[in-house]
Chains A and B, each alone.
Chain A
Amino acid sequence: EVQLVESGGGLVQPGGSLRLSCAASGFPFSSYSMHWVRQDPGKGLMWVSRIIRDGSATAYADSVKGRFTISRDNSRNTLYLQMNSLRAGDTAVYYCVRGLHGSGSYSDWGQGTLVTVSS
């Protein structure tokens, strides 16, 4: 069974940092691109970032570029999202998501971790 378990969310002040982790199991982690998608109750779903299988290429939404860094450790089956210079607008549930080969879609989602940016 595929499992994606996020952790690391919480309350942080504007300008602060957080590091999210996603522990993956039940599939060959190193064979899949991985993504972060966030959900703000007021604005729906937003793609945040993607990393390819070997970690050699990444991509970011314009709103987080230069502040967020996606990475992965294939030896630990873990995906990360380092979030710096956090803003109130980054408040959301962050989901770790597995890409479905050749589909342009996502086959599996974690339960999400809530990030709240507030003073």
Chain B
Amino acid sequence: DVVMTQTPLSSPVTLGQPASISCRSSQSLVHSDGNTYLSWLHQRPGQPPRLLIYKISNRFSGVPDRFSGSGAGTDFTLKISRVEAEDVGVYYCMQATHFPLTFGGGTKVEIK
């Protein structure tokens, strides 16, 4: 299975400041169809995860533009340009290029 490694495990951030989360896969996530099926999810306490970004950099419907995704191959990044209080929680990367679909271990974002 493809192993997804996220860093850091925890990220204390100041409101209004940027935050960045890294995700590295154990093998390339470029699919034979040319797409890279790397997504980012956000989970608030007591809630199910929700989709933020798909195929590296595509924001899902309703996701604020302060969230952006980048990367290629095996290295990917989620950036929050200015953290707001509602952004706290755990962020997960996930890949669907290789079977079975796998998730990163999560990065907890909390306010300093």
Q: Which residues of A contact B (CB under 8 A)?
A: 44-47, 59, 61-62, 95, 100, 103-107, 109-112
Contact = CB atoms under 8 A, between A and B. Distances in A.
Contact of B49 (A47, A59, A62, A109): A109
Given A104-B37, A105-B54, A106-B39, 14 more contacts: A44-B105, A45-B103, A59-B100, A103-B37, A103-B39, A103-B58, A104-B31, A104-B54, A104-B101, A105-B94, A106-B49, A107-B51, A109-B49, A109-B50
Contacts of B38: 104
B97 interface: yes
A118 B92 CA distance: 29
Contacts of B31: 104
B92 A104 contact: no
A105 B37 contact: yes
Interface of B: 31, 35, 37-39, 41, 48-51, 54-55, 58, 60, 92, 94-97, 99-106
A103 B49 contact: no
Nearest to A96: B48
B48 A110 contact: yes
B63 to A, nearest CB: 12
A9 B43 CA distance: 21
Contacts of B99: 59
A104 B50 contact: no
Contacts of A46: 103
A95 B48 contact: yes
B84 to A, nearest CB: 22
B55 A103 contact: yes
B96 A104 contact: yes
A27 B68 CA distance: 28
